[in-house]
Amino acid sequence: MIRMYGFWRSAASFRVRVALNLKGLAFEEEMIDIDAGVQHTPDYLALNPAAAVPSIRIDDGPPLTQSLAILEYLEETHPTPPLLPADARGRSRVRALSLIWAADHHPLITPRIRRYLADEMGQDEAARTAWIRHWFREGLAVGEARLAGDAATGLFCHGDTLTFADLCLVSQAAGARGFKVDFSDLPTVSRIVENCLALDEFARAHPLRQPGAPAQH
């Protein structure tokens, strides 16, 4: 029994949802309304003191947090199909790519950052949106520089098999599109994102397909 606590817009929730789908693991998801501040309620803080989504409970174990740590746990406990390559250098490449998006860029655009920029630095909505767009764009551009012309890149970020890196890239790209960031000039990134989004496991996990998402337009 897998119970996930996520949010429709959350890129980190999207990543974990795709991994669960790819590994064929059934789960129930409770939506934690980040916009309404539900992550700061005592009940949720008891699950995750960092007030972030997703958290996940498997059977009666303690909550697991941090999307990349959850992906590693799923990989270790449900290794088929694998989402990491078989060789150590390949795994390091996949983890490094994943961290470009999940560590270096995604944390920059989360609600706590936007709140600080507004409340402590007096930045208006236009300035905050410019910030968000800048870092989404830079994360995808760094990804392009890493992926393009690298023989290890294939149909997906690492050869022709899905890995953590694709989950992290696509979740970041979906967020970028939500903020109308154009990255059509990044051919490798754009191609991999389309290859992934064509798969049912990604499509079903997409933020805009989750409860609470705005109607698609």
Q: How far is the CB of 186 from a copy of itself (least distance, A)?
A: 13
CB of 13 to a copy of itself, least distance (A): 15
Q: Name beta bridge partners: 57.
A: 3
Token couple for 105: 């860029």
Report in angstroms how near the CB of residue 182 gets to a copy of itself at its nearest. 19
Kindly state the smallest distance separating residue 77's Cβ from a copy of itself, in Å: 5
Residues 5 and 33: their CA atoms lie apart, in Å, by: 10
Cβ burial, residue 118 (10 Å; 0-12/13-18/19+): middle
State the angle between helix axes of 125-147 and 187-197 in degrees (0 to 180), rounded to the nearest 10.
90
Q: How far is the CB of 170 from a copy of itself (least distance, A)?
A: 18
The reply to whether omega before 81 is within 30° of 0 (cis) is yes
Q: Which helix (H) or strand (E) element contains residue 6?
A: strand 2-6
Supply the DSSP symbol for 10. -
Residue nearer to a copy of itself on the CB measure, 52 or 205: 52
159: helix, strand or coil: strand
The residue (of 2 and 203) whose beta carbon lies closer to a copy of itself is: 2
H helix or E strand, kind and range, residue 55: strand 55-58
135 versus 156: smaller Cβ distance to a copy of itself: 135
Select 27 or 131, whichever has its Cβ closest to a copy of itself.
Answer: 131
Nearer to a copy of itself, 73 or 217 (CB): 73
Binding stretches for a copy of itself (CB under 8 A)? 45, 49-50, 52, 61-62, 64-66, 68-70, 72-73, 76-77, 88-89, 91-93, 95-96, 98-100, 102-105, 107-108, 113, 116-117, 120-121, 123, 127, 130-131, 134, 142, 145-146
